[in-house]
Structure 1
């Protein structure tokens, strides 16, 4: 079940109904009831956009890291995901990955070379994170 926001205004009935439908569509079967306020923007964007185009863009963003048969690329993929999950915080990333600071810095430099972008740039980081979330939700990748 999807729930929209509560409103006493009849004029907002259509808007609240649309919120409830959106929440319902975003529920991945993990819960019986989901509120519109609990749905993240990225989920809405990936579900309402052109899914094939979104998936294609996400794959291109992560490009060389998606070579599943290369263990080094899998390691870099996980490093990038953890780094983004930690909000770009080096200390947090280092602890989560259980690697040294110099090792983390080397990996970040390597990632920036492979992806041709500055992963600490907020716009780049958001796009990379959105790519991860899109591909993870589509079950096209897994972070091991």
Structure 2
């Protein structure tokens, strides 16, 4: 129970200091004023790696707040490292070309009304997908 509280606090802090994405390369700091218990949580683990990926998301108006928790993993845009413990996320909305995100928390902005398929994939510092550490989820914008 204590571990859950620590994780919840860490996630809340990262959400509050998260990043907002309105297109590739456009990142701004934002503050979220929603109740964190409204997030939907999904955890996946890799059968080939010691890493696990927890993805939380919440819809607010036409935005989707996404937070990823990967213990022991460092988010970086450094491509000179040769370890699977460093890297970034590839995000795809509605099966479009994925874009890179170098932070654990981000916002997908201004989605059109309707249902959207969002894919989150963890990749290493060389851009190679870390097997088993991806998650797809569907959101509905009212």
> Over alpha carbons, which structure has the higher Rg?
1
TM-score of the aligned structures, taking structure 2 as reference length: 0.26
More strand, by proportion:
2
More helix, by proportion:
1
